[in-house]
Amino acid sequence: MASAIAGLFLVGGLTACGGGSSSGSAAAPGAASVTGVAASGAPIVDGLVTLTCGGAGEAAKTVAPNASTGAFTFTLDNCSAPYVLSIAGTIGDSQGTLVSVLAAAPAAGVTTTANITPITNAIAATLASTGDPLDLIANISTEKAGLTAVLISARRDALAAALADTLVAAGLPATFDLIGGTFSADRTGMDKLLDNIKVQVTPAGVTLTNVAGTKSDDMGNTPGTAPTADLSAGGFTFTKNTTVAQATAAKMSATLDDSSIGDSIRDLINACFAQPKATRGSFAANNLSAACQAMPIATDYLNDGKNRISEFDPLLTNANYDGAVFGKPEVIRFYSSTAADTRALIKFSLVRADGLSESYNIVGERSTANTAGVKSLRGNQRLFKVVVNGFVNKRTQIANKGTIAPAGTYYSTGIQFYVGMQEGGAGGTAGTSNTGRAVGFVKVTGPGLPAAGLFLRPTLAGCDSSYAIAVSATSTPPRCTSLFRAASRAVTTTDTDNFAALFGNATRPDFAAAQVSDATISAIQPFTSYKFELFNTSSVLVATYYERLRSRPATMGTIAGKDGEVDKLRWNTLSTDTVALINTPAGTAFSGGNPSSLTVKWKNEANTAPTFSVQVQSNPTGNTLFQDLVNVAFTAGSTVLTNTGQGWPNMGSVISTSGAAFNLVQLISRNQFDTKLYADWIY
């Protein structure tokens, strides 16, 4: 399973796409109205639909969509055209907002349709002057000039031209109205297309990838087996300048797959966890209840080095999972899809009894050879876990502290790599501990990385949670990181970029030799593969994995133009008293705290990926690191960290006398495409 992602996943919301005549509110007789469906390939949970009016001073309208279908209706009285419709809610294991547009109201007593989907969000992005669809809401008074029927139709028709063959494959006409067409939540038609097409919006344009159109069977443990195809080659970039002719020439693949492979599996797992811990039993004890025995988990299950016991027993034997509910599974990509062999990487998201959410990426399989034709969880059959994802870091240097560079705020962007320490055995034997591990180091190659490769090592004391980039193995404590920084930039002209001098520094392999250009970053498409070569302690290659980057790093742009993707990101904020706490004057105790616990407070800002983890690090003397990380619910605004029960030092003791000393608080978020957002405050 993938690492747990904490946060709130309310189950009383949209379970998927939907359709039909039910709605969140009834239309007034004789009034013009707009109806539609708010839907995504992943569930939109606990969402609210907002109608933003184009007239000056006109109040926006808000309605809860139908919980089972996603349908909604607004009357258009006291609300002038053009209109921007949006839904904000939990999508999978993150939160997000999708946008749609409508140029004009219908005649009195007539109802028009405007759905809200990732496809309409793509259209809205190309209509916004900034490329950010949310700006259509925030700046409707200035943006509405671009929301005419002519311009909306041009964007809609251009995207429909690119998707024409895919629409036909879904059983829809090639001219299907991507904004106003009707559909239902039955894994067919538009719902099927949304399941297969992954849409990512950036200021540079919109990238659409058909994960069914280009497949690569690159799971497993065969050394030296390269992907048969690169999924990024199946992508299409859509901008406000794309014409119908250009889109027609760059049509998406017509192939679509049935994404229901995880649905029945999810239902059977939910039946198991509807029972209390005392009833469920475990794989290790071989005493599973009938409901839990019915979970379709293959006997040779092996996923990232874990077998059935090490993967599922921690959930089965923990009362926090009593009544845990798994939401609609999302197919991230297909490895194969034939009658005899269907395999897909599936994301399952659940909410626990204590309000925390987790997500798990597992390969589901239905094959004649391995699962007797039954839809099952069999795992990726890998002995080790490897992960790659883009990240963006916003760091605020609170003060000019001794030898540390001036105070200020700066961005960095790059790629995060993770290789798990657990070592699996043949046939799904439980993973072993770090002791006696067979892997001595990992070499990673791919776009944006050094040509000679990036090396991850397990030998750094204090860095045993994963294979890491050795920033300094000789320092005390040793410094290690999983982040490879490709570029950095100050936020404004009055800020200082304290990372700038580290690019090309031979002692800092976690920084590129030279800052990677925005053009190079933009060329890294979603689902680009990175090669992980695992070597044993005798430097002999033992396994080669190819892992896909779902979302690339963000572009930097310029300070003057503020035209980088980093400038469009939204960040959560740390409370002023928490900032003061880590900026404690020398020789004083915590402000409002004590050595055994530390309270961190923050605010999750609107339309911002919510905080799911909070990390605190303190190295007050420059040679002893104290650190703790806790997962939090999406609705949380504070948490208490205890340094795993060991307590904390006096953060103000000698912080101003050593250049190696620091205090840091980090809020960690992620978007639905697994891009990590790290907001740091450091003193």
Q: Provide mean pLDDT across the span 631-644.
A: 89
Q: Provide mean pLDDT across the span 350-373.
A: 90
- Are 481 and 510 in contact, with CB atoms under 8 Å apart? yes
Q: Which of 177-191, 411-425, 480-494, 550-564 has the lowest mean pLDDT?
A: 411-425
Distance of alpha carbon 22 from the chain centroid: 31
Among the listed residues 582, 644, 638, the one whose alpha carbon sits nearest the alpha carbon of residue 614 = 638
Q: Does the structure show a pLDDT above 50 at 432?
A: no
Model pLDDT for residues 562-581, shown as the tens digit of each residue = 888 899 888 999 999 888 87
Q: Provide mean pLDDT across the span 590-609.
A: 76
Half-sphere exposure of 194 (CA within 13 A, CB side): 31
Q: Name the E strands within 372-461.
A: 376-377, 386-397, 408-419, 423-425, 429-432, 439-445, 454-456
Q: Does the structure show a pLDDT above 90 at 504?
A: yes
- Are 604 and 560 in contact, with CB atoms under 8 Å apart? no
pLDDT band at 25 (very low <50, low <70, confident <90, very high): very low
Looking at mean pLDDT, say which of 145-149, 539-543, 679-683 comes out highest: 145-149
Q: How far apart are CA 578 and CA 345, in angstroms?
A: 40
Q: How far apart are CA 299 and CA 303, in angstroms?
A: 12
Which is higher by pLDDT, 652 or 373?
373
Residue 145 CB neighbours (<10 A): 10
DSSP-based three-state secondary structure for 335: strand
pLDDT band at 117 (very low <50, low <70, confident <90, very high): very high
Tell the residue number behind the tokens 């671009």, with chain if given: 146
Which is higher by pLDDT, 72 or 581?
72
Model pLDDT for residues 121-151, shown as the tens digit of each residue = 999 999 999 888 999 999 999 999 999 999 9
pLDDT at 56: 92
H or E segment and range at residue 279 = helix 277-280
Q: Which of 3-7, 300-304, 455-459, 529-533 has the lowest mean pLDDT?
A: 3-7
Structure tokens of 188? 């067919």
pLDDT at 470: 66
> To 5 degrees, how large is the angle CA 642–CA 645–CA 649?
60
State yes or no: cis peptide before 477, omega within 30 of 0: yes
Rg (CA), the chain: 25
From residue 387, how far is each of 320, 343, 417, 549 by CA, in Å?
A: 27, 19, 6, 8
Among the listed residues 488, 500, 510, 502, the one whose alpha carbon sits nearest the alpha carbon of residue 564 = 488
Q: Does the structure show a pLDDT above 50 at 69?
A: yes
H or E segment and range at residue 155 = helix 149-162
DSSP-based three-state secondary structure for 432: strand
Strand partners, 450: none
Q: Provide mean pLDDT across the span 486-495.
A: 95
pLDDT band at 323 (very low <50, low <70, confident <90, very high): very high
Domains of the chain: 33-213+231-249 (no CATH), 259-377 (3.10.450), 383-555 (no CATH), 570-683 (2.60.40.10)
pLDDT at 535: 86
Half-sphere exposure of 321 (CA within 13 A, CB side): 21
pLDDT band at 24 (very low <50, low <70, confident <90, very high): very low
pLDDT band at 83 (very low <50, low <70, confident <90, very high): very high
Model pLDDT for residues 33-43, shown as the tens digit of each residue = 999 998 886 66
What's the count of helices (H) and strands (E) in the chain, helices before strands?
Answer: 13, 33
Q: Does the structure show a pLDDT above 70 at 652?
A: no
Rounded to a whole number, what is the distance in angstroms from the first to the last CA of the chain?
36
pLDDT at 654: 44
Q: How far apart are CA 631 and CA 228, in angstroms?
A: 38
Q: Does the structure show a pLDDT above 90 at 61?
A: yes
pLDDT at 653: 54
Model pLDDT for residues 289-318, shown as the tens digit of each residue = 999 999 999 999 999 889 999 999 999 999
> To 5 degrees, how large is the angle CA 461–CA 467–CA 472?
50
pTM for the predicted model, two decimal places: 0.86
Tell the residue number behind the tokens 């029927």, with chain if given: 149
Q: What mean pLDDT, rounded, does the chain reach? A: 84
Reading phi first (left if > 0) and then psi (alpha if -120 to 50, else beta), residue 355 is in left
Q: Provide mean pLDDT across the span 595-609.
A: 86
Q: How far apart are CA 515 and CA 537, in angstroms?
A: 32
Q: Which of 218-227, 516-525, 591-600, 662-671 has the lowest mean pLDDT?
A: 591-600
Among the listed residues 447, 611, 550, the one whose alpha carbon sits nearest the alpha carbon of residue 2 = 550
pLDDT band at 29 (very low <50, low <70, confident <90, very high): low
